[in-house]
Structure 1
């Protein structure tokens, strides 16, 4: 399954270790909570 960053909308990297799963956004350069990630790509509309 693909997950997305709630801030920028880019795909996040899934990091698993020691029984836990974390999500990292390479564009925002920070960890994203598993409760905050998006399961569908956001509809980002620029300059409307």
Structure 2
């Protein structure tokens, strides 16, 4: 499944280790909480 950053809308990188999963946005350079990630790509209206 593809996940997206809630801030910029870009695809995030899934990082798995030690039984946990984290998500990292390479554009924002931030770790994203699994509760905050988007499962669908944001529309242009959502980004503005």
Q: How many residues align?
A: 48
State the secondary structure of the residue aligned to 1:41: coil
Distance 2:20 2:34 in 1: 10
Gaps of 5+ in 2: none
Bigger shift: residues 7-16 or 38-47: 38-47
Asked if the contact 2:5/2:11 (under 8 Å) is kept, the reply is yes
RMSD of Structure 2 on Structure 1 (CA): 2.3
Q: Pick the structure with greater CA Rg.
A: 1
Following superposition of structure 1 onto structure 2, how do residues 21-32 of structure 1 map, counting pairs within 5 Å?
Answer: 21-32=21-32
Asked if the contact 2:8/2:47 (under 8 Å) is kept, the reply is no
TM-score (norm 1): 0.91
CA 1:22–1:44 in structure 2 vs 1: closer, same or farther (change >3 Å)? same
TM-score (norm 2): 0.91
